[in-house]
Amino acid sequence: MHFCPKCRSIMIPSGSVLRCRKCGFEQEKPQDGTMVFTSRMQARDITVLEEQEEAGLPTTKAHCPECGNDTAYWWLRQLRSADESETRFFRCTKCGYTWREYD
């Protein structure tokens, strides 16, 4: 494995040279019998939720204090130190009101 002398990133083989992906520095491949292994990763589709954040959240039965709806999205967040329990948040599926569950 070879590293870029300028930015210390890994040099990637490209034809007859090694090229730095970060800064673009190029150098010839070493002729000292060093083996170079390459691998390719398959591209995967990643779903990005932009407009409707709630679309990926699970729902549960919870009474909304604002509109009275009985279905809400929920999620957990660690707000305090790690030795304390997580806080459960709800968001109404009808009006969008957000509240938390207190234990």
Domain boundaries, the chain: 1-30, 57-101
- List the CATH code of the domain at 1-30: 2.20.70
CA proximity to 93, closest of 68, 69, 58, 66: 69
Beta strands in 1-103 (DSSP E): 11-14, 17-20, 26-28, 59-61, 71-77, 87-92, 98-101
Give the percent of the chain with pLDDT over 70.
Answer: 78
Indicate the pTM of the whole model.
0.47
Average pLDDT over residues 24-29: 85
Return the CATH fold of 57-101: N-terminal domain of TfIIb (2.20.25)
Q: Write out pLDDT tens, residues 68-84.
A: 999 999 998 888 788 88
C-alpha–C-alpha distance, residues 31 and 25, integer Å: 18
Q: How confident is the model over 18-33, as a mean pLDDT?
A: 81
Choice between 83 and 55, residue whose per-residue pLDDT is larger: 83
pLDDT value at residue 47: 55
Q: What is the mean pLDDT of the chain?
A: 80
Assess whether the region 1-30 and the region 57-101 belong to the same CATH fold: no
Instruction: Give the residue numbers marked as catalytic.
Output: 83-84
> So what's the pLDDT on residue 33?
57
